[in-house]
Amino acid sequence: MNLETATFGAGCFWGVEAEFAKIPGVKSTAVGYCGGKTTNPTYRDVCSHETGHAEVVQIKFDPTKVTYQELVDIFFELHDPTTLNRQGPDVGDQYRSVVFFSSPEQERIAKATKERLGKSGEFRNPIVTQIVPAVTFYPAEDYHQKYFEKHGMAGSCHLRTPRKK
């Protein structure tokens, strides 16, 4: 089985991971940090706003069961891509909306989806999601991995996207 990787930042990584883990074809998820300048950052480092990292979920998926396009569509449904450095009550650059692409095809899909949604009139404000090349992914501390599952919590800490309709 040839698995592919997708990496998304959409606010608090606990909720993003919990939602993507439910998708048939997603084989594994891990939360961590991506897009900053510090090597092996800790949660405390990232929360200092000095590393530049985003909280992300890295997804390993079977493209014969779920496509990258489907994952990007889910990403845009999970959070508000129109708020800069914020998701609900979580504020800071680590909560930014970002797609880290790992191939030209992933870049094309993410950019086309952002453009399509931006022109759709579904959102009250412009989409501010960053679409940038994948860089080193640093796994978060073990206590962050599968947080909801470990704590017997159902649901998610995510707010759905506020649409005009």
3-state secondary structure the chain: CCCEEEEEEECCHHHHHHHHHCCCCEEEEEEEEECCCCCCCCHHHHHCCCCCCEEEEEEEECCCCCCHHHHHHHHHHHCCCCCCCEECCEECHHHCEEEEECCHHHHHHHHHHHHHHHHCCCECCCCCCEEEECCCCEECCHHHCCHHHHCCCCCCCCCCCCECC
In a domain, residue 37? The reply is yes
Q: Give catalytic status of residue 12 as yes or no.
A: yes
Q: Which residues contact 46 (CB under 8 A, 6 or more apart)?
A: 33, 36, 53, 55, 94
Q: Is residue 163 part of a domain?
A: no
Number of domains in the chain: 1
38 in any annotated domain: yes
Is 94 domain-assigned?
yes
For residue 137, the domain's CATH number is 3.30.1060.10
Query: What is the extent of the structural domain holding 53?
Result: 4-150
With respect to residue 72, please indicate whether it lies within any of the assigned structural domains: yes
* In-domain check, residue 164: no
pLDDT band per the 50, 70, 90 thresholds, residue 89: confident
Q: Is the pLDDT of residue 158 over 60?
A: no
Question: Mind listing the pLDDT tens digit for each residue in 52-78?
Answer: 999 999 999 999 999 999 999 999 999
pTM above threshold 0.85: yes
In a domain, 165, yes or no: no
Supply 61's token pair. 């998926």
* Given the residues 12, 34, 47, 157, the one annotated as active site: 12
Q: What integer pLDDT is reported at residue 165 of this predicted model?
A: 43
Query: Taking the C-alpha atoms of 59, 64, 68 and 72 in order, what is their torsion angle to the nearest 10 degrees?
Result: -80
Q: Is residue 159 part of a domain?
A: no
pLDDT digits (tens, 9 = 90+) for 131-141: 999 999 999 87
